[in-house]
Amino acid sequence: MYAALFPGQGSQRVGMGRALYEASAAAKEVLDRAEAALPGLLKLMWEGPEEALTLTENQQPALLAAGYAAYRAFLEAGGNPPALAAGHSLGEWTAHVAAGTLELEDALRLVRLRGRYMQEAVPVGEGAMAAVLKLPLEEIQKVLEGLEGVEIANLNAPEQTVISGRRQAVEEAAERLKERRARVVFLPVSAPFHSSLMAPARERLAQDLAQVPLKRPRFPVYSNVTARPEEDPERIRTLLLEQITAPVRWVEILRDMEARGVKRFLEFGSGEVLKGLVSRTLKEAQALSVQDPDSLKKALEVERA
**Bridge-based pairing state of the strands 221-222 and 183-186:** unpaired
| Catalytic entry in 11, 24, 89, 195 | 89
Answer for the pair 107, 144: CB distance below 8 angstroms, yes or no: no
Phi, psi of 268 (to 5 degrees): -105, 125
Answer for the pair 175, 225: CB distance below 8 angstroms, yes or no: no
Neighbouring residues of 211: CB distance < 8 A, sequence distance ≥ 6: none
Task: Tell me how long the chain is.
Answer: 305
| Catalytic entry in 11, 164, 194, 295 | 194
Please list the residues that pair with 160 across neighbouring strands.
133, 157
Q: How far apart are CA 181 and CA 135, in angstroms?
A: 8
Answer for the pair 108, 64: CB distance below 8 angstroms, yes or no: yes
Neighbouring residues of 292: CB distance < 8 A, sequence distance ≥ 6: 19, 20
| 122-136 as b/e: b if 16+ CB within 10 A | beeeebbbbbbeebe
96 a catalytic residue: no
Name the strands in the sheet holding 264-268, side by side, starting at the edge strand that comes first in the sequence. Answer: 229-230, 221-222, 84-87, 2-6, 264-268, 286-290
89 a catalytic residue: yes
Q: How far apart are CA 76 and CA 123, in angstroms?
A: 43
Catalytically annotated residues: 89, 194
